[in-house]
Amino acid sequence: MKKTLLSLIAILAVNFAIAQNCTPDPQYTAPGVYPDSATGLPPAYVGVPYDVTITEVVPVDTCIVLIFPPCTVIPIDSVVIDNFTGLPAGFTVVAENQSNLNFTFLGGTTSCMRITGTAIAGQEGVYPLTVSGLSWATVFSVPTSQPFSVNYYSIEILNPSGINSFTGENLQVNQNTPNPFFNSSSIEYYLPTAENVNITINDVVGKVIRNQKISGKKGSNNYTLTASDFSNGVYFFSLTYLNQTITKKFVVNK
């Protein structure tokens, strides 16, 4: 009895560990893949750990015209990804419950993939990604597959300039790091003179989320973003010094 109980605990522990590969973002309920093609994946930075979750919402069914209209409702059995290429060296991708291809997502479910890695010097550049596989549906009781290929994602690796290199008579702003972030992220910026600066944060549709005036000193300054202040998504922060404004994009992924 004890041996059986220990075996059961071990199996449950393994299944629990596998399920922790990633967590789908609950804000997405409509069928699709998120972030979508318009948003894209956030950039990676040399020396900064990259950790991004892609959420997939698979529809229960679809409606297709088989011969003549109207369309026929076809149940979707699953979407299977058997190819994921283009990741930078040292980066990996896993699914919610699978650590190796093929990744299977059942119809009517919400699941995820997670891309992780840390870029090194010399990897700067754009890495186009290709994701392909088969969509399976039951047509007149016969399992039928349809190939698909997605190639609108890419990861850009950037080399963040150090704050110590900031000089001159103009406002200079570093990209926040880390980005994306789930806890907090730091924005470093340089002011030629001590001056009040204005920080504005907008969402992707232009709505002002924050408009704040703060006092800045000559030289290096720091501003902290806190993930708990935002919903998951893409935002833009603009820092204005006198008549100079610099805008950067950041991603919250809690």
Q: Is residue 10 in a domain?
A: no
Boundary of a domain, candidates 111, 133, 158? 158
pTM above 0.75, yes or no: no
Lowest mean pLDDT among 59-73, 163-177, 227-241: 163-177
Last residue of a domain, one of 140, 158, 176: 158
Backbone region of residue 21 per phi and psi (left: phi > 0; alpha: psi in -120 to 50; beta: other values): alpha
Whether 149 is in a domain gets the answer: yes
Distance CA 183, CA 203 (A): 18
- Structure confidence by residue, pLDDT tens digits, 94-110: 999 999 999 999 999 99
Statement: residue 174 has pLDDT above 90? no
For 198-220, what is the mean pLDDT? 91
Instruction: Say yes or no: 125 and 232 in one domain.
Output: no
Within-domain flag for 92: yes
- The CATH number of the domain holding residue 217 is 2.60.40.3080
Residues 176 and 207 in one domain: yes
- Are residues 150 and 31 located together in one domain of the fold? yes
**Same-domain pairing of 31 and 71:** yes
Q: Is the pLDDT of residue 235 over 90?
A: yes
Spatial separation of the C-alpha atoms in residues 105 and 96, rounded to whole Å: 9
Domain presence at residue 9: no
The predicted structure's pLDDT at residue 47: 84
pLDDT at 14 > cutoff 50 = no
Indicate if 136 and 218 belong to the same structural domain: no
What local confidence, expressed as pLDDT, does residue 118 receive? 92
Within this chain, do residues 233 and 178 fall inside the same structural domain, yes or no? yes
The pLDDT of 180-203, averaged and rounded, is: 90
Instruction: With respect to residue 18, please indicate whether it lies within any of the assigned structural domains.
Output: no
100 and 201 belong to one structural domain = no
96 touches 22 (CB < 8 A): yes
* Same-domain status, 154 and 48: yes
**pLDDT of 154 strictly over 70:** yes
Which of helix, strand or coil describes residue 13? helix
Buried b (16+ CB within 10 A) or exposed e, 42-76: bbbbeebebbbbbbbbbeeebeeeeeeeeeeebeb
Q: How many domains does the chain have?
A: 2
pLDDT of 208 over the 70 cut: yes
Supply the range of the domain harboring residue 246. 163-252
User: Given this model, what pLDDT does residue 175 score?
Assistant: 87
Q: Is residue 131 included in any domain, yes or no?
A: yes
pLDDT exceeds cutoff 80 at 241: yes
Band (8; pLDDT cuts 50, 70, 90) = very low
In a domain, 45, yes or no: yes
Average pLDDT over residues 18-40: 83
Q: Are 37 and 145 part of one and the same domain?
A: yes
Instruction: State which of 124, 158, 192 marks the end of a domain.
Output: 158
Q: Is 144 found in the same domain as 186? A: no
pLDDT bin (cut points 50, 70, 90) of residue 146 is very high
Q: Are residues 41 and 58 in the same domain?
A: yes
Looking at the structure, tell me whether residues 103 and 72 fall in a common domain. Answer: yes
CA 80 to chain centroid, in Å, comes to 20
Q: What is the CATH number of the domain that holds 110?
A: 2.60.40
Q: Mind listing the pLDDT tens digit for each residue in 124-139?
A: 888 999 999 999 998 8
